[in-house]
Structure 1
Amino acid sequence: MNFKYGDGNYNEGDVIVVKLDKQANVILLDPTNFSNFKNGRKYSYYGGLAKVSPFEIIVPRTGHWYLVVNLGGYAGTVNYSVSVISNS
């Protein structure tokens, strides 16, 4: 599966804002679930199919997170940018 990702430390309540040029899956994963995602195992996530841009995800708890953007197995590429609105 092709996907793009970034990672960082975020605080509970931070808002991750993703601007996309087309519909895509945008998911937020903790380190364990990111590992499961990469290895084809069952995983839990926040976010989902972003049909509109910008797409926002609220960070559920403070920690290290991975933001993944993909087209769900479809061909093509998606251009996106990410910004964070800090809760602190």
Structure 2
Amino acid sequence: MAQTSIPYTHYDLQDIREGVVIEISLSAVANVRLMTHADFDLFRNARQHKFLGGVAKQTPIRLTIPKSAHWHVVIDTEGHAGKVESSIRVVPKPKTKAGPRFTPPSRPSAQR
């Protein structure tokens, strides 16, 4: 099978949960593709594939994982001039104040 001829940067996110936010920073305009493991195999073999993302003109961009699975991010400059440097990170979830889950009702003190 033919391999894709476009140069790209690949990030293997492994198994990642639905709802996790991924932040991608770029040094230039580039294509950003978030895809499942099966679609990444299709991409590598220059076959039609599905992905989330598209042309990123501003940075950083944030993508939310739509379902729990094995995910990949690909950065490429197909259709754009020059090279691009990129970095990726998982955006930490906001911390919530930990308080008591249950507060028992107060009891009136017994008077004699």
TM-score norm. by structure 2 comes to 0.72
Tell me which residue corresponds to 1:68: 74
Any stretches of 5+ residues in structure 2 without a counterpart? 1-5, 94-112
Any stretches of 5+ residues in structure 1 without a counterpart? none
Task: Report how many residues are paired.
Answer: 87
Tell me which residue corresponds to 1:52: 58
Tell me which residue corresponds to 2:88: 82
Shift in Å at residue 75 of structure 1?
5.0
1:28 aligns with 2:34: yes
1:7 aligns with 2:12: yes
- Identical positions, percent: 33
**Bigger radius of gyration:** 2
1:38 aligns with 2:44: yes
Between the aligned partners of 2:55 and 2:75, the Cα distance in structure 1 is 10
Between the aligned partners of 2:44 and 2:73, the Cα distance in structure 1 is 13
Which amino acid in the other structure matches residue 12 of structure 2? D
Q: Which has the higher contact order (CA 8 A, sep 6+)?
A: 1
TM-score norm. by structure 1 comes to 0.90
